[in-house]
């Protein structure tokens, strides 16, 4: 009896050791797309009236958790019974990420209208709620696609491991992708409010709390912009990495370059090729839908 318990504990210890090791590997592999997830959602959760930012972010977080509950079982079943589909999904996701990265670059150089928070103050409560619903739906859809990529990439790092290790490692990465990312987003979008509280902490002018508060208030727009740039680079790196590691002919084209440079250039070229095609398809779809 005692020997059986010790054997069970030894198996559990071995499993946890495998999980810890593979968790680190999966974490490194998904770090880029988690960074993009952070940047995208920080942008999605901003642009609201200050008292609506956290409720909107909570709604997106719940949608993200639901996304993971849908994606994880399907991913495990496909991995167990139709593993070839995982690679196909990964490449399709790479196409999407390359498109997103190229579109962000295109939007940076081509002028386009942006929503102004001050304009939202003039909306009625009904219009405000409708505006929030649209942005929440958009954010949850983007999260779903990014979540698929995070789960598939994490699953790819443990493809040769036991099913129990796969489930634990990928589930941990999925939880981090939700709680960790949205927790940091919440801190970012409330940074200016915290800064204002520091400024109003006392009646002294130019106190230490005033200086720190002003830094936080002024830094928020720059943090959002920086995350946008980092997220765009991450999109192209992750998409390029997917193509390089899963398409042999692409690997042969860039294998002589440093890995990060090769993956980034692959993402840029793929995005530049995919962007006009998808834009044309969008226009065609809109024309057909209007008719």
* pLDDT for 168: 82
Greater pLDDT, 174 or 264: 264
* pLDDT for 100: 83
Range(s) of the domain holding residue 40: 2-290
* pLDDT for 78: 84
For range 96-114, the mean pLDDT: 80
* pLDDT for 222: 84
Question: CA 125 → CA 51, 114, 274, distances in Å?
Answer: 13, 21, 40
**Distance in angstroms (rounded) separating the CA atoms of residues 263 and 200:** 48
Task: With CA atoms as reference, report the closest residue to 185 among 66, 48, 44.
Answer: 44
Q: What is the pLDDT of residues 239-285, one digit of tens each?
A: 888 899 888 899 898 988 888 899 899 999 999 999 999 889 888 88
* pLDDT for 133: 81
Task: With CA atoms as reference, report the closest residue to 243 among 272, 266, 261, 260.
Answer: 266
pLDDT more than 70, % of the chain:
75
| Cα torsion 245, 247, 251, 253: sign | negative
* pLDDT for 50: 65
Q: What is the pLDDT of residues 190-208, one digit of tens each?
A: 787 778 887 877 777 777 7
- Average pLDDT value over all residues in the chain: 76
Say if residue 8's pLDDT is above 60: no
pTM, whole model, 2 decimals? 0.70
* pLDDT for 274: 93
Task: With CA atoms as reference, report the closest residue to 229 among 82, 73, 42.
Answer: 42
The domain tally of the chain equals 1
For range 122-131, the mean pLDDT: 67
CB 217 within 8 A of CB 189: no
**Distance in angstroms (rounded) separating the CA atoms of residues 206 and 220:** 20
């Amino acid at each position: 009896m005692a020997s059986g318990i010790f054997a069970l504990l030894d198996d559990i210890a071995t499993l946890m050791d495998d999980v810890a090791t593979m968790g680190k590997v999966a974490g490194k592999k998904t770090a880029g797309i988690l960074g993009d997830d952070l940047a995208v959602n920080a942008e999605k959760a901003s642009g609201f009236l200050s008292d609506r930012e956290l409720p909107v972010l909570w709604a997106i977080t719940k949608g993200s958790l639901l996304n993971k509950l849908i994606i994880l079982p399907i991913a495990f079943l496909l991995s167990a019974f139709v593993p070839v589909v995982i690679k196909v999904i990964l490449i399709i996701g790479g196409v999407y990420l390359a498109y997103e990265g190229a579109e962000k670059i295109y939007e940076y150089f081509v002028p386009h209208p942006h929503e102004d928070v001050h304009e939202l103050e003039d909306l009625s409560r009904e219009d405000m709620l409708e505006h929030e619903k649209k942005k929440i739906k958009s954010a949850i859809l983007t999260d779903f696609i990014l979540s698929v990529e995070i789960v598939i990439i994490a699953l790819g790092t443990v493809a040769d491991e036991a099913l129990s290790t796969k489930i634990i490692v990928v589930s941990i990465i999925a939880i981090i992708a939700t709680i960790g990312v949205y927790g940091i987003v919440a801190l970012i979008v409330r940074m200016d409010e915290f800064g204002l509280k520091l400024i109003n902490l006392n009646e002294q002018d130019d106190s230490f709390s005033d200086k720190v508060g002003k830094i936080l208030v002024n830094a928020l727009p720059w943090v959002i912009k920086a995350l946008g740039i980092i997220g765009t680079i991450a999109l192209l790196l992750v998409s390029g990495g997917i193509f390089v590691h899963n398409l042999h002919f692409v690997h042969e084209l860039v294998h002589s370059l440093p890995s990060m440079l090769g993956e980034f250039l692959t993402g840029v070229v793929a995005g530049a090729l995919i962007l006009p095609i998808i834009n044309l398809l969008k226009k065609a779809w809109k024309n057909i839908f209007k008719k």
